[in-house]
Structure 1
Amino acid sequence: MTDPNAASRPVQAVVLAGGQGSRLRPYTDDRPKPMVEIPGTGTPIIGHQLSWLAEEGVTDVVVSCGHLADVLQDWLDSADLPVSVKTVVETEPLGRGGGLKFAAKHLPHPDRPWYATNGDIWTRFSLREMADFHTERAATATLALARPRIPWGAVETDGFGHITDFIESPPTAYEINAGVYVFSAGFADLLPELGDHERSTFPRLARERRLAGYPIPQGAYWRAIDTAKDLTEAAKELAALGR
């Protein structure tokens, strides 16, 4: 039976892998952030991402490199990859929006939608369902939304000020940008040549009701790897999940 939504789903993606990862030192002294391995997984973050994208129907990926680009390129050249990968390197800093626009110019199908992900995200959920959500809302851009756990214990009180409970690392009350996106074909034209799209393009689309937010399904794994503590926590979580 033919899936009526299949034609509208992206088959191409951009991975933003140019950050310096200064908060992950010393792990990033000799490799870019996406090349850092979660202990116990045997796979760098970008290897996990490429496998996930392939499972979700992606065939072509543009990897935007920066810090220690040659280390990442060497690994991509030697690895047995499940997708076709092209790397691009910014010759000068373009900012997040400019870098995304530069990478998008190298996608093989400029007239088709595309996914994008930050190079430090370790997650698993259905991109196909996110793409369908994007299409149903006729959005120009859709952001995945996560509700991460806060790193502290929380305290619950009653109306009189008595403490009633302690909760260890509860989910935050707010959803955050999870660093995974679906973009319609014309989105790249709205990006700045230089600067941050989250301060220009996204607010403009929000005002025009063309920006959608897709909550990552409950129970799906998501973590941004920003610090050494994130590596340790991710290793524990993934071991508990049997991954």
Structure 2
Amino acid sequence: MVEIPGTGTPIIGHQLSWLAAEGVTDAVVSCGHLAEVLQEWLDAAVLPLRVTTVVESEPLGRGGGLKYAAARLPDPEQPWYATNGDIWTRFSLREMAAFHAERDATATLALARPRIPWGAVETDAFGHITDFIESPPSPYLINAGVYVFSPAFTAMLPDRGDHERTTFPRLARERRLAGYPLPHGAYWRAIDTAKDLTEAAKELDGQ
């Protein structure tokens, strides 16, 4: 398991602590590549909530895998959260759930505006460079990898395949897909590389 530098805990440990702090009592963890390593860590760790693990016998795709995991939810008649495994964030899930309920949405996506990893250049109308901006915020909102789903959402997931190409577009056409912009100042980072781990540890240490 890859640990967050200086914490001794992998990303999933921080995610589970965050979920528990937000009132979540049960989590279903979908284990993929090297599932036995993740299961071993979960079995040995002192966790703040109840955890059930599921392992696909064959690849089902993101949507199929989500549906397979959702079958193990302790109360399928209640709304439920989901999060990508490579996201490190902190914000109020309770407020996101309230946003979801107010809009009577079937699914709600958290939306982030990450910083561009390169420096940006500004020019005037004549082409003169006027300024350099280091890692500016993206002009676009992106899927932040955290979700609230209504009970009816599970049956809409494909048995195999990608729900972001099937279920989400359908819900968007029907105006049943909501987007929750992360509150100003909320911490969010996708952990894709070793550098991301180091940078995230530095950022959180400075908060």
Do structure 1's residue 192 and structure 2's residue 174 form an aligned pair? no
The CA distance in 1 between the partners of 2:198 and 2:149, in whole Å, is 32
Q: Structure 1 residue 228: deviation in Å?
A: 1.7
CA distance in 2, matches of 1:95, 1:50: 23
Aligned to 1:232: 198
- Partner of residue 104, structure 1: 70
Identity over aligned pairs, percent:
83
Structure 1 position 219, deviation (Å): 0.8
Which of 118-127 and 67-76 deviates more?
67-76
Superposition pairs for residues 64-75 of structure 1, below 5 Å? 64-75=30-41
Gaps of 5+ in 2: none
Aligned length: 207
Report SS of the residue matched to 1:230. helix
What do you get for the CA RMSD once the two structures are aligned? 0.9
1:44-70 deviations in whole A, cap 9, x for unaligned? 100000010001110010000011111
2:104 match: secondary structure: coil
Matched, 1:55 2:55: no
Q: Deviations over 1:163-188 (max 9, x none)?
A: 22110000110011010000001100
Letter in 2 for 1:89: V
Determine whether 1:203 maps to 2:169: yes
CA drift of 1:138 comes to 0.5
Find the counterpart in structure 1 of residue 53 from structure 2.
Answer: 87
**Structure 1 residues 103-155: Cα deviation after superposition (integer angstroms, max 9, x where no partner):** 00000101110000011111000000000000001100000011111111001
Alignment-derived partner of residue 98 in structure 2: 132
Matched, 1:215 2:181: yes
TM-score (norm 1): 0.83
Alignment of 1:120 with 2:86, yes or no, is yes
Name the counterpart of 1:167.
Answer: 133
What is the TM-score of this pair, normalised by structure 2?
A: 0.97
CA distance in 2 between partners of 1:166 and 1:36 (Å): 35
